[in-house]
Amino acid sequence: MLRYSFQETMCGIFAYLNFLTPKTRSEIIDVLIKGLQRMEYRGYDSAGIGIGGEPGSPDDETVLIRKAGKVSNLAESIKGQ
Active site positions, annotated: 11
List b or e across 29-56, with b for residues whose CB sees 16 or more CB atoms inside 10 angstroms: beebbebbbeeeeeebeebebeeeeeee
Provide the β-strand partners of residue 63: 51
